[in-house]
Chains A and B, each alone.
Chain A
Amino acid sequence: MTDAVVPSWEGVRERRLARLQRIDAKLVIAVLIGLVSVTGAFITWKSSQLGEKATDRDRQAIAETVLQEQSNANIETQLRDEQQAFVQYKENLTNARLLDAQADRLAADGLTAEAAQARDEAAVQREVANSLASFTLDTTYVTFDDTTGVPTDFRVDQRRGDLRSLDDQAAKLNPDRTAAQAVDYRRRTQRLEGWTIALVLAVLLLTIATITRNARARPWIASAAVVIYVASASIALLGD
């Protein structure tokens, strides 16, 4: 008695389509769900990174604001001190001119002693004005009357602008720009978080594909999920 003949598939070549059909679709879907979840976790991590950067920019913007306001306060204090000195300078030189004029009148009235005293006082006023200017005032910012030579104006805005440009450290600061960067980082985190909803939607479709009793619909639903996944992940990660 011979052994029963056992049929063998050896040597038979399976068609590719048949081979694909033999793969458990549910297993593929499970793998896809895992892949989507990992992608979602990656996007969340990236979003978190951007959130940290935004927080850093917030702190930097506040620190820059402090420095900027300190610089502004310094400049304004110096400016007002110089302006105050200018008023004194102007008063002294105007007084000197008026004293000279008064001396002329007194001399004309025959009050020579008083006229000489007025001229002396005018000279003192000029000397005091010049000393004051050398200590406290940059006269390049002073406008003088062409005819009388008396100072008329202190160019405050120009002086302020120059003092600001001289302050290297403060000139580099732009807290508004830094704050705008923080806003931009947050906008990006927000965008990434938004795309995770699409990923969960893909998971939903994959779940439906798993549980559906309609075997024909399963690949179509799963395909739709894959399209959503690929599109949202690409836009989220590559579009950032």
Chain B
Amino acid sequence: MPDVEAPEIELDEDAPTFRRRLALVVVLITLFGAAIAYLHEQNSNFEDNAARDGQMASIRGFGQQVEALTEYGFDYNVFVERQLLERRAVVASSRQRSTLDSSLAALYGGESDRFTQLRDAVGESTPVQDFDAAQQRDGELQTKPDLQRLKQGVFANKANDYGDKADAYVALLTVLAVSLFLTGLSLTVGGRGRYLLAFPGVAIAVICVGWAVVITTGGITSVSDQAITLAVDGQRSQLSGDAQTAVDKYRAAVKDSPQFGTAWARLADAEFLAGVSDSAGNQFQSLSDEQATRRAVDAGEKAISLGEGDASLLSSIGFYHFTLGDYDRAEVLSQQALEGNDQFPPLVFNLGVVQVAKGDASAARTTYENGLELLADKRFDLLRQQIIGAARTDLEIAVDRTPNSKDLAQEMKGLLASAEAPILVVDPGPDRAAENSSVTDVKISTDRFRVFASYTAEGFDVNTPLINVWYFRPLDRNGQGPFEQVFLLDRPTFTGNNPALQTDPVENRSCLPGGDYRVEVYAGRDLLASADEHFTDSPLGALVVAGGEDVGFTLCRPDKWTEPDITLQPGSLAFANPDDSAQFVLVFSFPIGAGSGANGSTLLNATIQAAVEQQQIKVEGVPAAGEELLGRTVDGVDVTLQTTSVTGVTSLGDSVRITGSVGSDDVVRVVIISAANPSELDTVRSELVNSIRFLRVPDTVGSNGG
């Protein structure tokens, strides 16, 4: 009997049970998938809604911007008309006072009244009554468009968040499909091998459940309407120059809605601005208080962490890091900013100055050259000098924080000087100084609240332009820290046969603040010499500007001096020292009426005589001719005015000086000052009379009462 080998039969006893369970698992995974699909659909819907609302807010913001501009244009035009009528009233009133003909005086008086009433009638059509109100009005009108801009940002963030969630659900569904595939595939395999497919499939499904919980519980940017309103208010405060109130508003906004990235970004900007003591007149601010800068960095980093990432913000926060000496973070952010926008020179220079501070000469040269190449574009014509000024201040900061970077910083300043020259002169001359040329004996001086430099320039061809670059550091810095570059003071000088040169006297703002002044003299990109000088504040105390176009002159008056309780004619200003009744200044000007019946000189003398009699002044000596007053033409050119001055003593024993001038424009300009004694009178004269600028004087000064 042959051996019969029993066939090997693989018993698969648990197959039915396995299939039964697996069927259940598959349906459970499908149920889970249906729930995920529902959540995906929900988030996609929210994304679509938010995206649409964002677009609508964007369009509305643009429309409201147009409306705001139109309304502001109307308000400002009416304000201008009102000012013109006021000026007519002032002129008529002045003519009334100056004419010797009573009937003409009546005519001028009637005109003055008429223009005053017309001014009031026109002025009531606009809330703008002065320049501050104009700025405030602009800020108010910007609130509606700003509200829409912020809403657009919030909707965009929401759309992004919902979109991210929806995308995550799609990814989850894809993984879940893999789970189902493995589970289904296990049905086609017999024996224990099927568990190798089924278990991973189930495990993936379980992981997906956990993943879904994470996605679903993930937050969506939540910003309340209240927070948006606060941010709008903050922007309005910032536009009107009140950075501290803006900071308070933004802080309230981010406290209300901590995920409000735009408010954090604005807070960073406002914090930095709140610490700025603007002394350079540059819209690109570089120097702020250290604590304010740290707060700005914190707020800015928070904004970045919330997804705010426009190039301007990144570059600003990078710059704040730079000013605090954190060069690595500054470089990273500046690089990121340039990835977003590499066509705006300030962003390029922000990276360049970090490279200077880090001593990376090669990179810094490349960056600055790129920046200057961009800066040469026509669209930066109006900003070019400001950008160069800010870049110089940044380099001052780099040298202050890292003294080793001085030589490299100077090299970059040379490039900037070379770029500034074409702005100041038609033919900027050679890019390098002539061999054996020199500038020596540089000295900084002041003249009537203006600063100028004098020096000896030798070895240059005739008519070679030299660029004088000015820096300033205010008194409150106590001689510490970096200078700020004041681009408004920069002027050229031209070499001639005489080696002694002097720059044009220029104002560092109206009242020449005390502090450290520095001038650097460049020929092309070569620094030839520099000098520093320290000036103190006025002995009369802090000075502030008074007057303006409406009265026809400006002057610097001590902050604590007040307007006396007297009625002044239009076009006049008077201030008195409340602590010393003898100290007083009165400035007025008026055009000579056609019917005055006298020439300018006669009328000026009559005016001075009237003042002498009115004040019962005992005149000392003879009237002195001179050039004691300064005027400014409509083109902004300073011209000295020929003057006649009388000094005397009042019945109370106070010293008085009356200085008058009449120009070819037939306008009489008079300044009266008084003090307790001649010495104090000299101080008042030096500090106040020298600060007066009569506006719109003629280019050439004509005969005057001398």
Give the B-binding residues of A (Cβ under 8 A): 47, 51, 54-55, 58, 61-62, 65-66, 68-70, 72-73, 76-77, 80, 83-84, 86-87, 90-91, 94-95, 98-99, 102, 105-106, 109-111, 114, 150, 154, 175, 179, 182-183, 186, 189-190, 193-194, 196-197, 199-201, 203-204, 207-208, 210-211
Of A61, A70, A73, which is within 8 A of B56 by CB? A61
- In the complex, residue of chain A having the shortest beta-carbon distance to the beta carbon of B26: A207
When chains A and B are docked, how far (Å) is the Cα of A86 from the Cα of B55? 37
Cβ contact within 8 Å between A94 and B121: yes
- For residue B248, CB closer than 8 A to chain A, the reply is no
Cβ contact within 8 Å between B66 and A73: yes
Stretch at the interface among B71-79, B228-236, B520-528, B532-540: B71-79
Cβ contact within 8 Å between B45 and A102: no
Cβ contact within 8 Å between B122 and A87: yes
Interface residue tally on B, bucketed by range: 35 or more
When chains A and B are docked, how far (Å) is the Cα of A190 from the Cα of B154? 24
Which residues of the partner chain A approach B610 to less than 8 Å between Cβ atoms? Answer: none
Which residues of the partner chain A approach B70 to less than 8 Å between Cβ atoms? Answer: 73, 76-77, 80
Cβ contact within 8 Å between B78 and A87: yes
Contact digits for B10-31, partner A, Cβ 8 Å, 1 yes 0 no: 0000000001100110011011
Which residues B52-75 have CB closer than 8 A to chain A?
52-53, 55-56, 59-60, 62-64, 66-67, 70-71, 73-74
Which residues of the partner chain B approach A77 to less than 8 Å between Cβ atoms? Answer: 66, 70
Of B23, B28, B77, which is within 8 A of A210 by CB? B23
- A interface: dominant SS: helix
| A-B residue pairs, 3 tightest by C-beta | A69-B63, A186-B45, A211-B20
A62-B56, A95-B114, A106-B107 known; 15 other A-B pairs, CB under 8 Å?
A: A65-B59, A65-B60, A69-B63, A77-B66, A86-B125, A91-B81, A94-B117, A98-B117, A99-B114, A111-B103, A182-B49, A189-B41, A189-B45, A204-B30, A211-B24
Chain A to chain B contacts (Cβ below 8 Å), 24 pairs: A58-B48, A58-B51, A65-B60, A69-B63, A70-B63, A72-B63, A84-B74, A87-B122, A91-B118, A94-B121, A98-B114, A98-B118, A102-B111, A102-B113, A102-B114, A106-B110, A179-B56, A182-B48, A183-B49, A186-B45, A190-B41, A193-B38, A199-B34, A201-B31
- For residue B106, CB closer than 8 A to chain A, the reply is yes
- For residue B599, CB closer than 8 A to chain A, the reply is no
Which residues of the partner chain A approach B27 to less than 8 Å between Cβ atoms? Answer: 200, 203-204, 207
- In the complex, residue of chain B having the shortest beta-carbon distance to the beta carbon of A64: B56
When chains A and B are docked, how far (Å) is the Cα of A68 from the Cα of B64? 11
Cβ contact within 8 Å between A186 and B122: no
When chains A and B are docked, how far (Å) is the Cα of A69 from the Cα of B121? 33
Least distance between A179 CB and chain B CB atoms (Å) = 6
Cβ contact within 8 Å between B45 and A204: no
Question: A102 with B110: in contact, given A62-B55, A179-B56, A211-B23 (CB under 8 Å)?
Answer: yes
Which residues of the partner chain A approach B73 to less than 8 Å between Cβ atoms? Answer: 80
- In the complex, residue of chain A having the shortest beta-carbon distance to the beta carbon of B126: A87
Question: A83 with B74: in contact, given A72-B67, A76-B67 (CB under 8 Å)?
Answer: yes
Contact digits for B321-356, partner A, Cβ 8 Å, 1 yes 0 no: 000000000000000000000000000000000000
Which residues of the partner chain B approach A68 to less than 8 Å between Cβ atoms? Answer: 63
Which residues of the partner chain A approach B111 to less than 8 Å between Cβ atoms? Answer: 102
Question: A105 with B110: in contact, given A58-B52, A70-B63, A91-B81 (CB under 8 Å)?
Answer: yes
When chains A and B are docked, how far (Å) is the Cα of A106 from the Cα of B108? 11
Least distance between A217 CB and chain B CB atoms (Å) = 14
Cβ contact within 8 Å between A203 and B30: yes
Least distance between B93 CB and chain A CB atoms (Å) = 15
Cβ contact within 8 Å between B114 and A69: no
